[in-house]
Structure formats: C-alpha cells, structure tokens
Amino acid sequence: MWALLRIVFAFALLGAPASAQESGVAVPDLFAPGFAAPKQDFGLPGGIAGSPIPYLPGAAATVPSAEQHGLRLEARLVDGGPALESGVSWRVFSTEPGAEGHLQVLATETGGTASVQLPPGSYMINAAFGRASATKRVTIGNGDQVESVVLNAGGLRLSAVVGEGRPVPADKVTFEIAQDSEGGPNAIVVPHATGDRILRLGAGTYHVVSRYGTVNAVVRADIEVVAGKLTEAVIRHAGAEATLKLVSNEGGEALANTIWNVLTEGGDTVHESVGAFPSIILAEGKYTAVASHERKAYSRDFTIEAGVDRDVEVLLSDLVVPEAEIQRRMGGPN
C-alpha cells in the first residue's frame, strides 16, 4: 500500500535567498551539529568512512617536494549556492594508478572549505557529504587557485504517525531508503534510518519502506529529494499494538509459559513467541490468537484498528477442541 504523505519543501538551508533570511522566517538548519554528522545520520560504522568513495585507493601517497601551490576546495549543494561550512569529507587522488593498480590518496580533509598544497599537475577531487558525493578533475598550474564541487544534494527528514495523527515513537518505526539501480534491483542507500533525523542525499527519487514494529505494519512510498532543499515526509501507518494474555477469566492474571501464534484472517502465521503477555504491532485487520498452555490450545479472534492499542485476552474457556473429539461427542467415527 502506498503511503499517504505530507511533503513540505523548504529553501536551501544554507543557500536560502537573503530575502528569506532577513524576513525573520525560521528556516531549519539541515546541517546543524547532531543532525549533520554522517555517523549520526546513518548508524554506519566508521563515521565519515561510511561515505561513498568512487575509487579503491591504496595507501596515501607522498607528494614530491617540488614547487607547490595552494588549492582551495569548496563544496556547494547546488550551482551558485553558498559554500558548505561543515560536514564535508575531502579526498584528493592521483590520476595515475600506483604500484597496486589503484588511484592513490594524496590528501584528505574534513570540515567545510579545505585547503591543500599540491605541485602542478592533474588530480581527482572527491567531496562526500553524507550519502551525496561528487568528483571533479582539476589541473594545478603555476599559481594558487580555487575549485568548487557541486554536490547536487538535498536533505530528507522522515517521520511517522498512526491512526488520527498520533506520532509513532522513534524506537518503534524504521525506514529503509533505496534508489533505482541501472540494470538491477534497487540499491539500498540507508538500511536502517530512524525518524526525525535529517539525511544528506543526492537529488533524485528514493523508495522508502517504513516499518511500524517488526511484523506486518509496512508502508511504502516514493519520495523526491530536491537539490538544495529539505524534504519532509510524514508517513501514515495503519496499525496498532496488541498485548496477548491467556487468563482464567477476564481481567485475570496472565499465565506464564504460554506459546503464542497469531494468524491472519487468511490463515497465515505472522507471529510466534513464548511468554505471559507479549506485545506486538500489527497492521489493521482481523486475526486469531492461538495460545498453547500445558498441552492444550485456546484461541480467540480479534480485530486491529489503526491507532487503537489493545489487550487481547484469550480465556481458558476458549478451548480448541480437536476435530476427533468433536466427532466422538457427536457419535461419529472414532
């Protein structure tokens, strides 16, 4: 099912026109500390090392001690936009493979604008900003120079609501973000993004799979990320949390060591667990809870409504009688 979305676009957070900044309108800071750092955006190991690298470099090469000139590097979200002040990972590569057959890393810098000293010659400059990356070939002549790399990137902030608009707690919802891959399946860009965090992504359309809980409450949507802008998407889930209990009477104490199976209306098993009162999140619909305790089975049908959490009490009087026993009681064949 495709999501019901509310998409809100904002001006480039560091590139808003002066009139917007001077008007007093609050513009969220896409690249503020705590939101911007790649290691916080994606939960990937290695921090900045998790950013895309277009080459497989060998060990960092040593630049020969010869005539050198300053190269000032600037990264921009869009052509003509302001230079980014933080969050950029810079790598300078040689243009010729080294002894191992890989382009060698000559210099690395992190932050916003960077400056390196290099002798005259050609180089490959890579700027990585979150999951956005751009590479440019530059040639150093006989003087200092400035080079700008355009990332063509924007931001994406995801959140989720359930029912009539109740926010879903961040620890109960996850987002998987993928993008079209030429000649193959979608490439996963961010496997486990959390809600209300701003992700730095290259401009384009992304396929978002949002999971409320871990069972079957899933919503899919295509979301467009625009260069230089922040896209906010609110995904509406239709599910609720159910707490299962096997009790001797309504409102009674839940019996421990109970084996649980939850089946859909079509008979598919969507949940299995053991415990006194497991809690699960289910998509709206009709289900059957089957409780096994001391070699006897009990069952009760129940319904999940979007945003309405509930207890599902299975009573000891809800005993499942085997078919053979039913036939015996009715005088049928044994």
pLDDT at residue 186 in the model:
82
pLDDT at residue 190 in the model:
94
pLDDT at residue 181 in the model:
75
User: How many C-beta atoms lie closer than 10 Å to residue 158's C-beta?
Assistant: 25
Give mean pLDDT, residues 269-284: 96
Confirm if 236 and 219 have CB atoms less than 8 A apart.
yes
Residues 318, 321, 327, 329, CA torsion sign: negative
User: How many C-beta atoms lie closer than 10 Å to residue 48's C-beta?
Assistant: 16
CA distance 256 to 244: 11
How many percent of the chain have pLDDT more than 70? Answer: 76
CA distance 301 to 298: 11
| Pairing of β 145-150 and β 69-76 | parallel
Question: DSSP letters along 99-164, please?
Answer: TTSSEEEEEEEEESSEEEEE-SEEEEEEEEETTEEEEEEEEE-SS-EEEEEE--EEEEEEEEEETT
pLDDT at residue 35 in the model:
30
Per-residue confidence band for 333, with pLDDT thresholds at 50, 70 and 90:
low
Give mean pLDDT, residues 304-333: 79
Burial 280-299 (b: 16+ CB within 10 A, else e): bbbbbbebbbbbbbeeebbe
CA distance 98 to 58: 8
Domain ranges of the chain: 5-30+153-237, 47-150, 239-323
SS (H, E, C) 294-317: CCEEEEEEEEEECCECEEEEEECC
| Pairing of β 184-193 and β 173-181 | antiparallel
CA distance 262 to 290: 6
CA distance 261 to 273: 7
Within 8 A by CB and 6+ apart from 227, the residues are: 77, 78, 151, 152, 153, 154, 203
In terms of CATH architecture, what is 47-150? Sandwich (2.60)
Per-residue confidence band for 328, with pLDDT thresholds at 50, 70 and 90:
low
Residue 130: how many CA atoms within 13 Å on its side-chain side?
29
Confirm if 249 and 264 have CB atoms less than 8 A apart.
no
Confirm if 153 and 77 have CB atoms less than 8 A apart.
yes
pLDDT in tens, 53-82: 333 343 344 455 568 999 999 999 999 999
In terms of CATH architecture, what is 5-30+153-237? Sandwich (2.60)
Confirm if 292 and 273 have CB atoms less than 8 A apart.
no
The CATH superfamily label for domain 239-323 reads Immunoglobulins (2.60.40.10)
Q: Is the pLDDT of residue 43 over 50?
A: no
> What are the helix and strand counts (H, E) for the chain?
3, 23
User: How many C-beta atoms lie closer than 10 Å to residue 6's C-beta?
Assistant: 12
Question: DSSP letters along 265-293, please?
Answer: TTS-EEEEEESSS-EEEEESEEEEEEEEE
Phi, psi of 304 (to 5 degrees): -105, 125
Within 8 A by CB and 6+ apart from 323, the residues are: none
User: How many C-beta atoms lie closer than 10 Å to residue 73's C-beta?
Assistant: 23
Among 85, 80, 202, residue whose Cα is nearest residue 153: 202
Residue 91 exposed, middle or buried by CB count within 10 Å (0-12, 13-18, 19+):
buried
Per-residue confidence band for 50, with pLDDT thresholds at 50, 70 and 90:
very low
Residues 255, 257, 262, 263, CA torsion sign: negative
